[in-house]
A and B are shown apart, each in its own frame.
Chain A
Amino acid sequence: MIDHVDLSVRRGEFLGVVGPSGSGKTTVLRALLGAIVPVHGRVLTAPGLRLAYVPQVETVDWNFPVTVAEVVSMSRPGAGRLGRGTAAQRREVDDLLERLGLGGLARRHIRELSGGQQQRVFLARALAQRPHLLVLDEPTSGVDVRTRHEVLHVLEELNQDGIAMVLTTHDLNGLAAHLPRLVCFNHTIIADGSPMAVLRPDVLERTYGAPMEVLEHGGMPVVLDQQPHRLRAVGGEGA
């Protein structure tokens, strides 16, 4: 599935992994999290390192009867006590919600939120574990432009507070190009560096198996399909 992967994430880094569907991006994340053990090779983590995982919102069961506060507090270390926990624990959850702009929504059901709020609830659940490294699978898939900006902004703030980030994304221009470090991945690492260094036509073609063009806009790379392909209208004589 994945082969010859040599990847290290340093303290406080912000790293994006891009690649086509089925290229093994999520497998890399899962190996990093310790959910799977590689057949060959090793995954080394610093002793005492706390990792937390934010899943794709598409995988969440939105019909499950949980409120925002219940989601955020379910990851708290240690099992224990039916109910809302101690006053200090409750305050911690409230602070976290407030910080992520979810204040006042604690008792809402998770389905009653906007896309950006839903994403932030699961971010809050991960943050409740006080991680050093946050692993996010497609944090902006299926969200609109405004929500994407919102999510990116929150992640940037958390990173500035010293939390390292590793995320996967399909969104080259909306997300990947904004990150400090990017890994192009297709069963193995094709390139690893700044967006300017790796978002190049040759690297992208090797990663995606399709020709792409790269423009520059305001000092940032913009990736385009090389051959614009206009679909013809079907059966539209008068159109």
Chain B
Amino acid sequence: MIAGVVARSGSLAVDLAEPLSYGFFRRGLVVAVIAGALCGLVGVFVVLRNMSYIGHGLSHAVFGGAAVAAVAGFSFFVGAGAWGLASGLLIAWVARRRIIGADAAIGVITTASFAIGLALQARFGQARRSIEAVLFGNVLGVFRGDIVLVLAVMCASIAAIALAYRHLLFATFDPEVANVSGVRVARIEALLMLLLSGTILVTVRVVGVLLISALLVLPAVCARMLTNSFRRMLWTSPLLGAAFGGVGMYVSWFADVPSGAVIILVGTAVFAVVYATLGWSRRRRLTSLAVH
């Protein structure tokens, strides 16, 4: 029996190593893990500041920029980046005037952006493939350059969060008091928007527009349920995001299902388990309180 188990785990190891012999899978795995970690890290702020709709909106806005770039024939990052930045500033400006709410401003500006992308995709067939890559993600088509970019944004985010840690926490928890306590809240908010846009820009081609807002929310929400400490949430969430990315890639390989969808489904499964366990233990605690 023991020999049988060993043999089976041995063959399992062979199976798991098999996709690693393909360069495109190795690159995809690396980029999915880093992208997951990055979304998990930035997602902490997205979730705690109730910005998930902004993440959702920005990724859609970026799609418009990507389509323009594909049609006009210049770099994806230039087109999507400039477009995303412009949409972000426009949203902030519209929201600050308080004629309509921020969520409505996002709804208007980003869906318009998305619609422009769709229109361009339909009208200019030759750019179709690169536009579709942005829409659905193409983790197996990443180049070394993509990995470097995701890694660079990851390092920049870690550095920014470490340097501005206390101000970020203060401005996120209690912006009004932070403001009168010498924290430049507007600057902190701009920094967060910058990190979020950068993150979306470099991960959008990995998991795709349609799934990116989920990756910005799922790891952070799971981490939030697992801890009551901000600091612990800041490292738990990236770890979960990385795990979603890595496990999702493997499942995607063996199940032959698009990786973006699988990554999100893995995250959703973990979310469901944590949520159910937490609900169960809380109910049990309540019952035991009621009994005593």
Contact = CB atoms under 8 A, between A and B. Distances in A.
Interface of A: 30, 33-35, 51-53, 55, 59-61, 64-67, 70-71, 73-84, 107, 109, 129
Interface in B138-159: none
B124 to A, nearest CB: 46
B58 interface: no
Given A67-B229, A74-B170, A81 B162 contact: yes
Given A65-B227, A66-B229, A55 B166 contact: no
Contacts of A109: 228-229
B102 interface: no
B233 interface: yes
Contact of B182 (A67, A77, A81): A77
Nearest to A74: B170
Contact of B181 (A52, A65, A107): A52
Interface size class of B (residues with CB under 8 A): 20 to 34
B224 interface: yes
Interface in B149-197: 161-167, 169-170, 172-174, 176-177, 179-182
B58 to A, nearest CB: 23
7 contacts: A30-B180, A64-B173, A64-B230, A65-B48, A65-B230, A66-B230, A78-B166
A79 B191 CA distance: 14
A33 B183 CA distance: 13
Contacts of B164: 79
B97 interface: no
Contact of A79 (B167, B173, B179, B181): B167
Contacts of A66: 169, 173, 228-230
A73 B167 CA distance: 11
B59 to A, nearest CB: 25
Contacts, number: 75
Contact of B224 (A51, A65, A73): A65
B166 A67 contact: no
B292 interface: no
Which of B48, B165, B228, B230: most chain A Cβ within 10 A? Answer: B228
Contacts of B174: 55, 60-61
B177 A70 contact: no
A51 B179 CA distance: 12
Contacts of B230: 64-67, 70
Nearest to A29: B180
B163 A79 contact: yes
A168 B170 CA distance: 24
Contact of B228 (A34, A51, A67, A82): A67
Interface string B211-226: 0000000000000100
A93 to B, nearest CB: 12
Most buried by A among B174, B182, B233: B174
B231 interface: yes
Contacts of B227: 65
Nearest to B48: A64
Contacts of B161: 82
B49 to A, nearest CB: 10
A153 to B, nearest CB: 23
Given A35-B176, A53-B181, A55-B176, A70 B231 contact: yes
Contacts of B224: 65
Contacts of A59: 176
B55 to A, nearest CB: 19
Contacts of A129: 181
A18 to B, nearest CB: 22
Nearest to B47: A65
Contacts of B176: 35, 55, 59
